[in-house]
Amino acid sequence: MWLFLGIIFSLGVLIPGKHSLKLQYDRDQVLHIVPETFQQVQHLQHLCSSLLLDLWKPLLPEDIWAGEDLHIRVPAPLVQEVKDSLDQHMISYKVLISDVRELVDQSMRRERSSHTQVPEGYIYTQYHPMEEIYQWMTQIQKSNSELVTQHYLGKTTENRTMYYLQISQPSDKTKKIIWMDCGIHAREWISPAFCQWFVKEILQNYKSDPKISRFLKNLDLYILPVLNIDGYIYSWEKDRLWRKNRSPHMNGTCYGTDLNRNFNSSWGSIGVSYNCSSEIFCGSGPESEPETRAMAQFIERKKSDILCYLTIHSYGQYILTPYGSTTKPPSNSEELMCVAKKASAALMGKYGTRYEVGSTSLILYSNSGSSRDWAHMIGIPFSYTFELRDKGTHGFVLPPDQIQPTCEETMLAVTTIIDYIDQKYFPGGAVMLTSGSLGLSLCLTVVLTWTVS
């Protein structure tokens, strides 16, 4: 009986209708466990697999290790049974989230702006459904037509249009590109919120901020606010914790591919599932999904001009470098790490938030088919994944009151990376070193093995 309930409640019982997700996750809890012995690890792996519990960290039962954090969402009907089982095996736990639905409701609470005009009346400190993000993109272009253009990227599984924004100062010279995408995983709402914040900050400050005005002379910014549009809409309308896209499999008996396991970088080799019900189902082949294919084909065409690839996720507070599929470091690993540490230090300077820096396979878990690894493998020298706040207190359901501080500190990290790249590849336009850029100059002593095409 418990196994049946586990399957039903872990997968979620969806009630038709736009607001059905309000009824989900009522009294579900998220538990934090740090197993101490191999026997405890084995029991936890069995518990998670047999009850199909929703692992938030790590994503696979086989990635549960002694001494490492484990975050599990336990459906309300199973909470007591799971806790009793943990107690019987003398496994300590802490309740991170006592009622997931409370956080879900909080993340969807929305102010109504008294202004009808976007972007002036746009509220960047709340989460926005896709319809409003589409409107925001259109209006941000109209209001900043001298700098911003909106471009077609492709179509989603459900035939929605994917657009990216290009921020570019007019110039006679050929400029290089910084790419940033957000929202590859539907439930990570802080990610699209940051992409929007980033665009706002660049447009508001490029005339007054010498760092931004300098790098915009040499670099164009390409921003994809939501990559997984279908999944994002589904997370608003049906299932707040939905992760994947919405491609149907097995004659419509299960849905979704993890787009960050679907790129052509050691695809399907490690840290994935071939079960379409899994959160980390890698698809039927590399770039099998239209969203992945649209972005990959575009970046392939532009790769000789792209100096940096940034992909924004949550949660965990990491800046991750390639690779996830191997512990063998990339040839410019020392420089990648140096720049990431500078970015992490800049971020921490705002609110004291600590980010861990390193390759995915060494400090998080192994995975294959990620966009970050793929971007580096095709020759983009700087490639990073940001895992934004927090470390599990709210997990994927970060409250709206944390949007502003999260975005403010992340902005410092991202502009630190862009500024470093600008100074490396365009040294002729160097400005007088400030204390911040002096710190960055330490990285310039690293032996640089990458050149621009």
Q: Any idea which residues carry the catalytic annotation?
A: 387
Whole-angstrom distance, CA of residue 128 vs CA of residue 193: 8
Nearest to 95 by CA among 76, 110, 108: 76
* Other beta carbons less than 10 A from residue 280's beta carbon: 21
Nearest to 396 by CA among 315, 297, 298, 311: 315
Nearest to 294 by CA among 343, 376, 226: 226
Whole-angstrom distance, CA of residue 199 vs CA of residue 390: 22
Angstrom CA distances, 342 to 62, 314, 387, 451, stand at: 33, 20, 16, 21
Judging by beta carbons within 10 Å of its beta carbon (0-12, 13-18, 19+), is residue 118 exposed, middle or buried? middle
Whole-angstrom distance, CA of residue 141 vs CA of residue 145: 5
3-state secondary structure of 219: strand
Token pair in block for residue 397: 């359901």
Host H or E run for residue 126 = none
Sign of CA dihedral 205, 211, 212, 213: positive
Give the CA-trace dihedral at 42, 43, 45, 49, to 10 degrees: 140
Q: Tell me which amino acid residue 343 is.
A: A
User: Using N-to-C axis directions, what is the helix angle for 403-425 and 333-351, rounded to 10°?
Assistant: 140
Beta-carbon contacts of 424 under 8 Å, excluding residues fewer than 6 positions away, are 444, 448
Q: Scanning the structure block, which residue is given the tokens 């300077």?
A: 349
Nearest to 57 by CA among 191, 188, 227, 193: 188
Beta strand extents in 244-330 (DSSP E only): 248-249, 254-255, 306-314, 318-321
